[in-house]
Structure 1
Amino acid sequence: MFFKEVNEIDLGETTIANIFIDIFMPMANGLYVKVYLLGYRQACDPNSNPKFDNNSIAKNLNIPLSDVIEAWKFWERKDIIKMHKNENLNDFDYSIEFMDLKRFYMDNMYINTKSIKSNSDSIVSVSENPSIRKMFNSINKIVGRYLEPGEKISLLDIINKYNMEPDMIVYAYEYVKDKHKSSRPVKYIESLIRGWYDSNLYTPQDVKDSFAIRSERYMVYKTIFNELGFYRPPSKPEERIMDTWFDKYNMDIEVILSACSKSKNISNPSVSYINGVIEKWNNKNIKTLDDIKLLEEDSKRKPQVNQKSNKNNSSNTTSVKTRFHNVNQTFTKYTPEELEKLLQESQKDKFK
């Protein structure tokens, strides 16, 4: 349950369409949402400072100006703002036009599922949208037949539910056809779209980049396991550990392979053992092979320093001045003959 306190004090309010909160906000990171809301507040306030610009947003949020521009580019790709370059030499100087979200939703996203199900003519109405019509035609070619009305309804519902562009639906069909060499039901397509949505992949290029990264990372896993003498795929926990080496510690693959070489004399090498080595290196800011070489040279010098220290301690011990030291120091002043004479004289004194 959520409710708000009633207060008669008016400090001004900015009304934002629920469409932004329900559909667009979940797909963006927090920074992009902050930039949008701060700019939108200025656009809605008739008494706002006319000098308030993107630099002002950057200062208010304590972020680089370039991050503000990236946020606007993101929202422009979602077609809910337009960036207008101002006439000067500053590459970051843009005016921002906020589009009417209700109109956007009606023109691009609004689908009354009940009316579609009850009246097939509504599908024809929705298909008047060029991008939707192009999507249906492309999918017809991929699956090699015309889509059933129920399938079209389900696909339109997917677009509405996950706020995906039609080209993402087409790409999902292309991906399935390429992977399985045959078509799959709409439910399978929806599960694919849902997975991409949950992974923050919103365009075909996002998905392709993700595949490329995962393929490259898989080859890295395989290289590490070959170095360890493992001829099996890594488990999920092992993948997470190895991802930490790259994504958190920013270790080079050469450094990781060097750590793997440390396990050659171990009966049961494991990713956990290598992780211990890499964690120690990370704590010592070891990032390159040169860093490892310096660390090894330093560890070789330490035993020599300890040996010298022990010798010094030994010599220091013999040089401690005691009364015996003083006696010895006194007797070294005489020759053996003189010492003999002194001894004889001392003996005479005893027997007088």
Structure 2
Amino acid sequence: MPQCSFNRPAAMMQATPVQNMFLIEYMPKAPDAYVKVYLYGLMQCCNPTLAQDSLEEALGMDAQAVAEAFVYWQAQGLVSILAQDPLRVEYRHPGAPATLSQGGAGRYAAFNQALQQALRESLGESGKARVFFPGEMQRIYDWMEVFGLEEEAAILLIQHCLREKGPRASLRYMDDKARRWADAGVLSGEDARRRIQFEQELQSGAQGLLRRWRKTRQATEDELALYQKW
């Protein structure tokens, strides 16, 4: 079967269709940078020849800022984030229902903004991005609704886990830590800061002991618990 495509100069002369619904209903309320990300991604969807270009480089944005934009459009129902490493996004019809519960998204709007800012601060220099899918966000909301963590404590926990494990830190790891914090009464932002300092000192002490045994890996949770008993 023959495979046909435009070369790059021809692709540059093509047009990208933008529905009036997007221009009227979505664009006026969205941050300018998010609109740029949406439109550039739409152009890549419509012109596969140009899809190999780096969206981040073209727009002068880091990976986390681009991911943040797509999280916003996912909440609006215009895209679905299918994978995050590498980031893979599927565009949807503007009339499709939002994938993220608007109840949760609306109730935690300020928290979501603070979380995105925290992710930018934590990952900006690394060039990596971290996206939380709708089901994961609901689990994070449960930390506050079920475990009783304050919003600041939840954000500090996520930042702490990213420092420990990197951008690929699993939600299960974060969820287990949130449960342990709640069981230990670590609920406020101030509680979280003290707990993080304690865990860092514990990790440092355990690492020193492992180095004496000529082991360079990080201490496991069981080893940390054993070191704490000592």
The TM-score with structure 1 as length reference comes to 0.25
The TM-score with structure 2 as length reference comes to 0.38
Higher RCO (CA 8 Å, separation ≥ 6 residues): 2
Instruction: State the structure with more CA Rg.
Output: 1
